[in-house]
Amino acid sequence: MSAAPHLLVAHQGTFDELGTPLREVTFVVVDLETTGGSPADCAITEVGAVKVRGGEVLGELQTLVDPGTPIPPFIQVLTGISDAMVADAPRIDAVLPAFLEFARGAVLVAHNAPFDVGFLRAAAERLDLPWPAFGVLDTARLARAVVLRDEAPDCKLATLARLFRATTTPTHRALDDARATVDVLHGLIERVGTQGVDTLEELTTYSSRVPAALRRKRHLAEGLPSGPGVYLFEDAEGRVLYVGRSTDLRRRVRSYFTASETRTRMAEMVGLAARVRHVPCPTVLEAEVRELRLIAAHKPRYNRRSRFPERAQWLKLTVEPFPRLSVVRDLRDDGAAYLGPFGSRAVAEAAMTALHEAVPVRQCPGRLPARPNRSPCALEGMGRCGAPCTGAESVEQYAVHADAVRTALGGDLRAVLARLEAKVAALSDAQRYEDAAAHRDRTGALVRAAARMHRLAALAGCPELVAARPTVDGGWEVTVVRHGRLAGTDVAPRGVDPRAVADALVATAERVLAGVGPTPAASAEETECVLRWLELPGVRLVHVDGVWASPAHGGGSHRDRYAPVTGPADPGADRRRLRPAR
**HSE on the CB side for 548, CA within 13 Å?**
21
Nearest Cα to Cα of residue 559 among 456, 455, 444: 444
What does the pLDDT read at residue 564?
A: 67
How far is Cα of residue 211 from the mean position of the Cα atoms in its chain? Answer: 28
Same-domain status, 85 and 181: yes
CATH code at 226? 3.40.1440.10
Give me the active site residues, please. Answer: 172
First to last CA, the chain: 45
Same-domain status, 89 and 175: yes
Domain of residue 250 covers 205-307
Same-domain status, 145 and 173: yes
What does the pLDDT read at residue 8?
A: 34
Domain count, the chain: 4
How far is Cα of residue 189 from the mean position of the Cα atoms in its chain? Answer: 32
What does the pLDDT read at residue 470?
A: 96
Nearest Cα to Cα of residue 120 among 142, 103, 139: 103
What does the pLDDT read at residue 246?
A: 94
Whether residue 568 lies inside any domain: the answer is no
CATH code at 142? 3.30.420.10
Same-domain status, 358 and 299: no
Coil, strand or helix at 209: coil
Contact 280, 224 (CB under 8 A): no
Q: Which of 198, 232, 258 is the last residue of a domain?
A: 198
Contact 113, 74 (CB under 8 A): no
What does the pLDDT read at residue 512?
A: 94
Same-domain status, 330 and 273: no
What does the pLDDT read at residue 128?
A: 95
Measured CA to CA in angstroms, residue 425 lies from 438, 440, 450, 579 at distances of: 12, 10, 22, 6
- Give one DSSP letter per residue of 257-320, joined into a string: HHB----HHHHHHHHH--EEEEEE-SSHHHHHHHHHHHHHHH--TT--SSS-GGG-EEEEE--S
Q: Which of 198, 220, 253 is the last residue of a domain?
A: 198
Calpha distance 387→371 (Å, rounded): 12
Which residues, 6+ apart, have CB-to-CB distance to 134 below 8 Å?
Answer: 103, 106, 107, 108, 117
What does the pLDDT read at residue 126?
A: 94
Same-domain status, 317 and 236: no
CA angle, 88 then 89 then 95, to 5°: 155
Calpha distance 216→212 (Å, rounded): 6
Spell out, as residue ranges, where the chain has pLDDT lower than 50.
Answer: 2-18, 566-582
